Structure 1
Amino acid sequence: MLRLSPWTKRLLCLAALLCLAPAATPRFFEFSDASFELSSEAKGVAHTGSHEERIIAALDAIRSGNMADARATVDALIAEQPNYRLAQLLRADLYAMRVMPLSTIGGGVASAPSNVLDDLRKEALVRIAHRNDKIYADRLPANIVAFAPQQKFAILIDAATSRLYVFANDNGQPKRVRDHYVTVGLLGVDKKIEGDQRSPLGVYFVTSHLPREQLDKTYGSLADLYGVGAWPISYPNELDRSQSRTGHGIWLHGSPAATYARAPQASNGCVVLTNEEMLDVAQYLQPGNTPVISVPAIKWVNAEQWQQQHNAGLALLEQWKSSWETLNTQQYLNFYSPDFRSGEGQDISTWREQKAAVNAGKTWSKVQLNDVSIFAAGPQASQMVATFNQNYRSNNLNNQMKKRLYWQQDAAGWKIVWEGNALN
């Protein structure tokens, strides 16, 4: 009599279940409570579109019970991107559903590490949440207050939704070009110290481009972590430095070859895209010029509200400039916060004394501001960063510089918390 091993017996039992079991009622309860029957022989039609559009279409097909289309879509995705882990997870679930209902994404691979499954579930939910969020389709970001003429594009990162947006300078108004899913720091955002595995929040600028060839020479096999290349940003900025925030090497970059997309929170502080999407975004990056605005959540407004904010931001800067060049010392100093720090490290008391003494020796002054940009960060766009080329002339001094002002909104209105040379 033929003796079968325990594993052989288990495999034969599973085969019998696959052949004899009645149709199951698979569901992902967090997406839908609708019941549906599975036809294992049905041949589905693969959805088309971007990889993200297709993974969402597969999830929608599962939710509606169209398992054949879901399988066809996932199989086509994996044929193109075998390292797309979320697609691989859905494939495992789809085949497990032939014999049992599933209560959650990843239920078909219960032996996988729980942290891996949690990350993939978060990715699925983040992608679906973005698709479902249609309310802002015709809105503008309050975080882009004013483009400088030479700035063709701006990058806006919404940490709450793990989304990166590209906006074009359309005659001074932001126009949405595209958006992509991104990964941020393992422990979230609001970077404070070196090694805290958080991504920074604030207004930064792309400083350079590190192509893959250069990364290979510098980092060897570790260069694969950055995928197709890296675009460093200017963290820590001037305000970060004044607040003793530390850290370096915060980049926009691609993904390792063996990983199509990473979890929503998985980096050491960088902002990470898939390689194909990083290359797409790269065409809009101008080192030394393109702002990267990272915020807890984008503040969306309608066109009328955006124009009002645009006008108000420029008017505020003009009022500051006018009080300075008319030598109205008290009015000028009222623009500064009690928490102010200058680029040279002066606090508000020292600043007041110096400005009062300087103005006492002036008979006239003229201030011209060119190439003005204003971008807003912080909760509800409560921090504004103005950058401009300043031409200052007076009876005893002529000076030109690239200056940056950080404004903070509080109960007293908008106040300057940092002023000095723009470092980039």
Structure 2
Amino acid sequence: DSVEQFEKFRITTGKVHGNKEKEGDLKTPEGIYYIIGKISGDKLPEKYGPLALVLNYPNPVDRIFGRMGSDIWIHGRNEEIVDRQTEGCISLENNYILNLASFITINKTPVIIVDSLDNLSSSEYQQKIRVWSDIIQSWRNAWEAGNTSTYFGFYSHFFKDVSGRDLQFFKNRKKALETLYKWKKITIDHIVVLSSEYEAHVKFNQTYLCPKFYSTGVKTLTFVPVDSTWEIVKEQFISTIPRVYISESIKKFLELWKSNWESKDIERYISLYDSSFSVKGLSLQEWEQYKRRIFSQTNKIRVNLGSPEIDSSDKMTWKVSFKQDYQSDSHNDIGQKILTVYGYPGDFKILSEDWSTLGKK
């Protein structure tokens, strides 16, 4: 869908036309900003009206290109609105600033300041999203494949991470991770694009899975135009859940598998197996029939598992090896079991089982 207009207000801006460059130039900045605070009227000079919304000017892109200054607000006005009357702020009538404030969430509501506004049709807006989606998918593909030359090509030499470290630090860290982890799986969805002449912010949901951990959250890439392309100058990832470590997640999965086995809950037990599962020539359906028969003939089952060894060489797949001690009223056995487990934390499935007996107890 295209952007929907809720309200329209008359405003006034800086006395001098053009994008702000320095303190005191009387220009209003252009770009993408966020409201980072509010100042109530009792703390403001009377000319600013009942409220001021504080913008994060200069933002990271402004700092990269040396655009400086401070105290850029959206505020009220105890005078008639006339074009180009401020020292760089955006000003509107008092009742309008109070109305506008009702739409604001601090640190989350974006403010796009442009010299002129292009009203895109729904089809034009969707085409814009498709172009950016193609860029982001190409970036993701290069990252997931470990194609560092292509991946680093998306980044500007102006790049700084959230801690202010430069592109070379970023490259060194990514190369080290490529060596450390044999594979990674990255998914992205719900892409949102905010853009102006000077920058673009692309926000999306991201999941990252590697042999050691799983993370999910929201990533924002900030791009600037360079010649005929867009390059990344900032990258921020905010987790929506704490990082999940694969070893702990697989141990919990084993406990669930063991519990379902001991309770002889065949539906829950079989639900942990992938539809492609096979063992000793048995399909999943045949395995279920076999287990149903065992469960029906057994009054009590106890399974003790040793500490698992977990290794991954294939994408999203782990070999889980452990000592298993099986006890029932009709059969006791002890041996080494290897489960091949596939998937994500919270959605693991067993692909295969290997069993080597060490002898009956």
State the TM-score, normalized to the length of structure 1: 0.50
Show the 5 A alignment for 1:25-424. Answer: 172-212=1-41, 216=42, 218-219=43-44, 222=45, 224-256=46-78, 259-261=79-81, 263-369=82-188, 372-378=191-197, 383-388=199-204, 390-396=206-212, 398=214, 403-420=219-236
Larger radius of gyration: 2
- Cα distance in 2, alignment partners of residues 371 and 238 from structure 1: 24
What secondary structure sits across from 2:85 in the alignment? strand
What secondary structure sits across from 1:364 in the alignment? coil
Which residue in the other structure is 2:333 paired with?
Answer: none
**Percent identity among equivalent residues?**
26
Range 305-314 or range 189-198, more displaced: 189-198
Per-residue deviation, 1:255: 0.3
- Cα distance in 1, alignment partners of residues 105 and 168 from structure 2: 39
- Cα distance in 2, alignment partners of residues 405 and 225 from structure 1: 38
Per-residue deviation, 1:370: 6.2
Per-residue deviation, 1:190: 1.9
> CA-to-partner distance for each residue in 1:331-354, whole Å, 9 max, x for gaps?
211212344333344444443343
User: Quick one: structure 1 residues 179 and 349, their matched pair in 2 at CA, closer, same or farther if it must change by over 3 Å?
Assistant: same
- Cα distance in 2, alignment partners of residues 389 and 242 from structure 1: 26
Contact (CA 8 Å) 1:260, 1:275: kept in 2 or not?
no
For structure 1, the residue ranges without an aligned partner over 5 or more in a row are 1-171
In the alignment, residue 22 of structure 2 is paired with which amino acid? I
RMSD between aligned alpha carbons?
A: 2.7
Per-residue deviation, 1:328: 2.2
In the alignment, residue 181 of structure 1 is paired with which amino acid? R
Q: Relative to total residues, which structure has the larger helix share, 1 or 2? A: 1
Per-residue deviation, 1:174: 0.7
What secondary structure sits across from 1:207 in the alignment? strand
Q: Relative to total residues, which structure has the larger strand share, 1 or 2? A: 2
Contact (CA 8 Å) 2:2, 2:122: kept in 1 or not?
no
- Cα distance in 1, alignment partners of residues 224 and 96 from structure 2: 34
- Cα distance in 1, alignment partners of residues 62 and 205 from structure 2: 22
- Cα distance in 2, alignment partners of residues 336 and 313 from structure 1: 15
User: Quick one: structure 1 residues 304 and 390, their matched pair in 2 at CA, closer, same or farther if it must change by over 3 Å?
Assistant: closer
- Cα distance in 1, alignment partners of residues 62 and 227 from structure 2: 23
> CA-to-partner distance for each residue in 1:52-79, whole Å, 9 max, x for gaps?
xxxxxxxxxxxxxxxxxxxxxxxxxxxx
In the alignment, residue 251 of structure 1 is paired with which amino acid? W
Per-residue deviation, 1:362: 1.8
- Cα distance in 2, alignment partners of residues 248 and 401 from structure 1: 32
In the alignment, residue 101 of structure 2 is paired with which amino acid? A
- Cα distance in 2, alignment partners of residues 370 and 237 from structure 1: 26
- Cα distance in 1, alignment partners of residues 12 and 228 from structure 2: 36
- Cα distance in 2, alignment partners of residues 389 and 303 from structure 1: 23
In the alignment, residue 276 of structure 1 is paired with which amino acid? N
Contact (CA 8 Å) 1:343, 1:421: kept in 2 or not?
no
- Cα distance in 2, alignment partners of residues 209 and 270 from structure 1: 14
State the aligned residue count: 238
- Cα distance in 2, alignment partners of residues 401 and 302 from structure 1: 31
- Cα distance in 2, alignment partners of residues 364 and 313 from structure 1: 26
- Cα distance in 2, alignment partners of residues 225 and 352 from structure 1: 50
> CA-to-partner distance for each residue in 1:135-189, whole Å, 9 max, x for gaps?
xxxxxxxxxxxxxxxxxxxxxxxxxxxxxxxxxxxxx531122322211112234
What secondary structure sits across from 1:374 in the alignment? strand
- Cα distance in 1, alignment partners of residues 52 and 103 from structure 2: 14
Contact (CA 8 Å) 2:18, 2:28: kept in 1 or not?
yes
Contact (CA 8 Å) 2:191, 2:203: kept in 1 or not?
yes
- Cα distance in 2, alignment partners of residues 421 and 188 from structure 1: 36
In the alignment, residue 51 of structure 2 is paired with which amino acid? G
What secondary structure sits across from 1:177 in the alignment? coil
What secondary structure sits across from 1:204 in the alignment? strand
- Cα distance in 1, alignment partners of residues 159 and 105 from structure 2: 31
- Cα distance in 2, alignment partners of residues 193 and 397 from structure 1: 45
Contact (CA 8 Å) 2:32, 2:199: kept in 1 or not?
no
- Cα distance in 1, alignment partners of residues 216 and 87 from structure 2: 39
For structure 2, the residue ranges without an aligned partner over 5 or more in a row are 239-361
User: Quick one: structure 1 residues 285 and 345, their matched pair in 2 at CA, closer, same or farther if it must change by over 3 Å?
Assistant: closer
- Cα distance in 2, alignment partners of residues 370 and 279 from structure 1: 35
Contact (CA 8 Å) 1:344, 1:420: kept in 2 or not?
no
User: Quick one: structure 1 residues 247 and 370, their matched pair in 2 at CA, closer, same or farther if it must change by over 3 Å?
Assistant: farther
